[in-house]
Every structure is written in structure tokens, then in C-alpha cells.
Structure 1
Amino acid sequence: MRAFIADTVALVLFFTVLGALNEHYVAGMAWSEVARSRAIGAPLMVLTARPYGVWRDWLMPGLTPPLPRLATDALSLLIFQVPIYAAILWLGGASGAGILKGAAVFSLMMMVVGRPYGVWLDFVRARFGLGPGGMKPMTLGD
């Protein structure tokens, strides 16, 4: 349960801010649309935070090495989060062009923020008395 809470707190805090800025300034959504998409996104983040943590923890040992943690964190975010984010934009009322533009920029952002989020996730996990992810296989019961 601690792993679920830690992963959820880390994801919700980090990506609520990042998503809102992207939606308003890049996808061109009005603040009311941003609020709606964040309201839709929050429950989705709660539902996907721990599965993402498990996904990242499973992916890390297989790719690090040969890939550095920087690349593995970026790749894990890109594959897992971008499809979810595109759905959030669609449900939030973004136009087709806005969804494509927002998802494309979000993809680039995942490449840039992958490692910072990995560091943040490990930091939050440590506050909950958990070790960093990606060092050993983890299960939903951790």
C-alpha cells in the first residue's frame, strides 16, 4: 500500500503541473478546458501511477545497462504515458490538431523530463521508506 501511495503522490504532483502548462500554452486549451482535463486526468493518474511504477521497475533492469538510466526513464515514460495523455486531451475537449500537437510536445517533454521524474519518483518513494525502483523486480503488492 505504501508503494501505491508513494507512486500516486509522485505522479499526481509532477504531472498535474506539467500537463496543465502544456495544455494551456502548447495545445491552446482555455483554462476552463485545462481544469476539465486535469479533473479527468487526476483519477486516471491515481489509476495508472502504480502500474507505471511497476512498469518502470520491470523495464529498468532489462535496459540499464546497456542504456543509461536517463534513456530508460525517458523511454518508459514515453511508451506508457503519451497514449494516456492523448486520451485526456480528447476527453478534455481539445481539437484533433490540438491533440496531435499536445501529444507530440508531450512526447518531447517525456524525453526531457523522464530522468527528472525518475529521480522525483525515487525521492518520494524514499520518503515512504521504499527503495528506488528499477533495481529489482517489484509486484503490485510491494
Structure 2
Amino acid sequence: MRRYLADTFAMVVFSIAIGAFVELVITGLTLEQTIKIRATAIPVSLLIGRPYGMYRDWVFRQLGSAEKTLLQKILLDTLINLTFQMPLYALILALNGATFMQILTAASSILVIVGLSGRPYGIFLGACRRLFKVSEPL
């Protein structure tokens, strides 16, 4: 239960922070728009927090997590974030009526953000697990 809470807490907090930054600073949305979008995104974060943590743990285990260099951890967390978040994002867009070209354009535009946020999220997830007194299974 603590692992579920730690992973979910990490996803909600990180998604709010990164999403708000992107929406306010990069896309220029208003504070009101950003608050509405972030509030709408919380249920998604609640649903995907633990599955993301499980997926990350699984990938690290499959690739032998012990003794990873910093570069290997950066590359793994980036790969994990891209392979988990991008299909999910494309699915959400498709379920909301986006065309294939719209999905391709939107996914391409957030590719950099998702790629850059992989390792910081991995570090934050580890910190949240320590906060909740959950050992890293890696």
C-alpha cells in the first residue's frame, strides 16, 4: 500500500509541477486555464502513478539495475518515460477525437519535454519512495 501511495503521490505532484510549467511558461496559457487543466489531469495521474512505477521497476530489473552509471540511469529513465507516456498520450488524444496527423503533431511537440523529464522524475520517484519508507526494488 505504501508503494502505491508513494508512486501515485510522485506522479500527481510531478505532473502538476511540470504540466503547470509547460502550460504557463512555454505555451502561454493563463493561470486559470492551467489550474483547470491540472485539476483535470489529476485523475489520470492517480490512475497511472503505480503502473508507471511498476513498469520502471520492471525495466530496471530486466536490464540489470545494479551498478548502473549515471549515464545509464539517465538513458533508462528517459527510455522508460518515453515508452510509457507517449503511447498513453496518443491514446488519450485518439479517444478525444484527434486525427492521426493531430496525434503525430501533438506527440512530436511534447517529445522533448517527456524525454527531458524522465531522469528528473526517476530521481523524484526515488525520493518519494524514501519519504514513504518504501525501498527501491531495483
Query: Normalised by the size of structure 2, how large is the TM-score?
Result: 0.75
State the Cα distance separating 1:127 from its structure 2 match.
1.4
State the Cα distance separating 1:74 from its structure 2 match.
0.7
**Which consecutive segments of 4 or more residues in structure 1 shift more than 4 A?**
64-67, 96-99
Question: Alignment RMSD, CA only?
Answer: 2.9
Seq. identity, %: 33
Q: Deviations over 1:51-102 (max 9, x none)?
A: 00001011112235688111111111111123434537x96xxxx869935x
User: Would you say 1:35 and 2:40 are equivalent positions?
Assistant: no
Name 1:24's counterpart in structure 2: 24
Equivalent residues in 2 for 1:57-136, closer than 5 Å: 57-64=57-64, 68-85=72-89, 87=92, 100-101=105-106, 103-133=107-137, 135=138
Q: Count the aligned residue pairs.
A: 128
Query: Normalised by the size of structure 1, how large is the TM-score?
Result: 0.74
What amino acid is the match of 1:32? E
What amino acid is the match of 2:105? L
